[in-house]
Amino acid sequence: MTQSATSDQTIFKGTAPKVLANFRRDARAVVAEGDCLKSLRKLPDNFAKLIITSPPYNIGKVYEKATSLEKYLSALNPIIDELVRVLSDKGSLCWQVGNYVEKSEVFPLDIFYYSIFKERGLKLRNRIVWHFDHGLHASKRFSGRYETLLWFTKTDDYTFNLDPVRVPSKYPGKTNFKLDHPDYGKPSGNPLGKNPSDIWKLILHEWEVGLWNIPNVKANHPEKTVHPCQFPIELVERCVLALTDKNDWLLDPFSGVGSAMLAALRHNRRAIGCEKEKEYVKIAKQRIKDLFSGKLRYRILGKPVHQPSGREKVAQIPQEWLFNGNGK
Ligand SMILES: C[S@@+](CC[C@H](N)C(=O)[O-])C[C@H]1O[C@@H](n2cnc3c(N)ncnc32)[C@H](O)[C@@H]1O
């Protein structure tokens, strides 16, 4: 497999795996079309090292029908039971959600999901804040600019590989300053970089802003498809690299256009997705083909977010505001 980077996309090439419709332990890629509960019931116990998903948020997207919060959450119970069953003892479950909003009241979904998973014995390792700079501008509250990813493990003996996801240190030249330290005067950091923390803003001069910023997948993003709320592949890549080893299985029970699967396949992991919408299944399969033929456009893990230079028209203060005081 090869990889080359251009200014706004990563090209990756390899031999495309056959995408199966049903799980087989020796498969590399499976897309199970239909209701995920049915597909999950056919899967073996303890096989998935990483379950990562962005479930329907119950906000009336084209693929969902909004109901009361209680009904929405209780409908997910049997699915969550299956997920816990199929999760490996060394495995992780990453649940990415935003807010459910009813009559302008905000219900952060992770608060509700936390107890659902805790009741089933899972242990929270991080509540990761995924921060982005763009989105709707609210008028009656502050504009929402983050979603969260709850990272649970099934046991205390879980896979966690920090080195592949380290980021550059702010002060790599720092040395041990205590005279009685055995390594006094030697560098105190890790040459591979530092722990990326639980706030994911992208590595735009990460050492300056101290955050990771993975851009939300919106219109101008190289990965955008017809799906209304896709995962950025980059977001999943970090979890794949940290929480799985080569050849492990990743499962996304609400796989949409297959973004999580792509992140797994790109790093030599096996991937299974469940998706009820035919159109999204078709796109996911095409994206897998495109990934291996080198046609899939996607953001490089850790590529800096575009910063306006100030010379773009949209980055300049409109003339009307300059002369008339906010146009009035
Ligand atoms: C928030 S989206 C996930 C998008 C995905 N992360 C991606 O990058 O494309 C949720 C997806 O779950 C699918 N879905 C909802 N209920 C489902 C069910 N019961 N079984 C299978 N898929 C379902 C929807 O069609 C939608 O594509």
Can you list the domains of the chain with their CATH numbers? 2-324 (3.40.50.150)
Pairing of strands 249-252, 270-275: parallel
- The CB of 56 under 6 Å from ligand 1? The reply is yes
Positions of E strands within 194-246: 199-200
Ligand 1 pocket, mutate which of 261, 275, 288, 291 (most atoms under 8 A from CB): 275
CA 155 to chain CA mean position, Å: 22
* Average pLDDT for 185-191: 91
Residue 326 pLDDT class (50, 70, 90 cuts): low
Tell me: pLDDT of 306 over 60: no
The rounded Å distance from CA 55 to ligand 1 centre is 6
Residue 302 pLDDT class (50, 70, 90 cuts): low
Quick one: which of 250, 269, 229, 255 has its CA closest to 31?
255
- The CB of 254 under 6 Å from ligand 1? The reply is yes
* Average pLDDT for 142-149: 90
- The CB of 59 under 6 Å from ligand 1? The reply is no
Q: What number does the ligand 1 atom closest to the CA of 254 have?
A: 12
Give the residue with greater pLDDT, 219 vs 256.
256
The rounded Å distance from CA 295 to ligand 1 centre is 24
Report the pLDDT value the prediction gives residue 228, as an integer from 0 to 100. 65
Q: What number does the ligand 1 atom closest to the CA of 79 have?
A: 19
Interior/surface letters 305-314, b for 16+ CB within 10 angstroms, e for the rest = beeeeeeeee
The rounded Å distance from CA 254 to ligand 1 centre is 4
Within a 10 A sphere around the Cβ of 89, how many other Cβ atoms?
A: 12
Report the pLDDT value the prediction gives residue 185, as an integer from 0 to 100. 92
The rounded Å distance from CA 228 to ligand 1 centre is 10
Residue whose CA lies nearest to ligand 1 atom number 26: 256
Residue whose CA lies nearest to ligand 1 atom number 15: 56
Residue 83 pLDDT class (50, 70, 90 cuts): very high
The rounded Å distance from CA 131 to ligand 1 centre is 22
Give the residue with greater pLDDT, 322 vs 7.
322
Report the pLDDT value the prediction gives residue 309, as an integer from 0 to 100. 66
Q: In the Cβ-directed half-sphere of 321, how many Cα atoms lie within 13 Å? A: 4
- The CB of 158 under 6 Å from ligand 1? The reply is no
Tell me: pLDDT of 115 over 50: yes
Residue 273 pLDDT class (50, 70, 90 cuts): very high
Tokens 């490996």, located at residue? 88
Q: How far apart are the first and last CA of the chain?
A: 59
3-state secondary structure of 177: coil
Residue whose CA lies nearest to ligand 1 atom number 13: 254
- The CB of 58 under 6 Å from ligand 1? The reply is no
